[in-house]
Amino acid sequence: MKLLSCIAIIILFASCTSTNSIRNGIVNEKNALQVLSGKLDSIDSKRLAKKNIGELDDLTDSITGKYIAQLKDSINNRLTYFNALTSNKKIRRQKKEANAYLKQAMQLYSNELGNIVFLDDLFSASTFNKLNTATFFGSGEYKLNDTAAAQVSLISKNLIKEASDFSAAHANKKLTAMFIVYGFADEQTFSNGSELYLDLAGAITSSGPNNKLLNAELSKRRALSIKNILKENFEIIKQQSPASSFSANFFAIGKGELLPSAGIGNYQPVDERRRVVLLYWSILPQLN
């Protein structure tokens, strides 16, 4: 009888110790999640600041913005659950479930912290380059001459190196690289029936396209001219250094007559400052 009583006491003590351990783990995890939430707010502010000055592309902004919003919701849900566990004293009654949830939450935290540190590095990196197309293209042109192509080639190699160095610094993660090229045009007019008009109009589905549509096509072709050189250089570098290369996707997007910079308030309808190409590189881990 005495032995049974001792065994019962030992079991009870072990149970209490386990419950206390879970409770302490929950307190620590709650504190960690609150710190993580603060870091997330800081990262989101950095994302918005970079977007507002035009140094973050739309695709990266959309992907990271959605991830940050989802992560905020997930953190709040975990904090709410942990608060309910501790305030209602459910841990003893639901010890197994609480312990399993705690372990899962700790693993999530580890992955999320790594992603937040990564995004902090990305938003701190110089991932943007602006080309004044007046230097490379004449008015109404989208094809590069040899001199301009050589200049763009040098710029693209530097851009690829920046992305490659960043990728190498995060070699422990599975990464996806993107190179995004935005082309812009001003509000120049096109003579109906001219060679340029017929060239651009041939790629537009609507008949008798207006100037806005023609400038949209022109801006897209400017972006494609730059993207093609960028991609060509990327493939050359990849062949030369296969061990250090990484995979990448390339995008050429025509922005038409949209204004390229919110910081310039005196754009004119026909203005070489509007005939620019913006280059971005971006590298993201699996965000889930």
Where exactly are the structural domains of the chain?
A: 2-124, 128-285
Q: Provide the angle, in degrees to the nearest 10, between the axes of the packed helices 211-240 and 146-169.
A: 60
Closest alpha carbon to 241 in 161, 176, 178, 179? 161
What is the model's pLDDT at position 89?
Answer: 65
Say how many C-beta atoms besides its own lie within 10 A of residue 187's C-beta.
15
Q: Quick one: tokens of 197?
A: 């008009």
Q: What is the mean pLDDT of each run of 10 residues along the chain (288 residues)?
A: 36 50 86 94 96 94 97 94 75 76 88 93 94 77 90 93 92 91 94 93 91 96 96 90 78 96 91 91 90
Alpha-carbon gap, residue 40 to 34, rounded angstroms: 10
Residues 6+ apart with CB under 8 A from 206: 213
CATH topology for 128-285 is: 60s Ribosomal Protein L30; Chain: A; (3.30.1330)
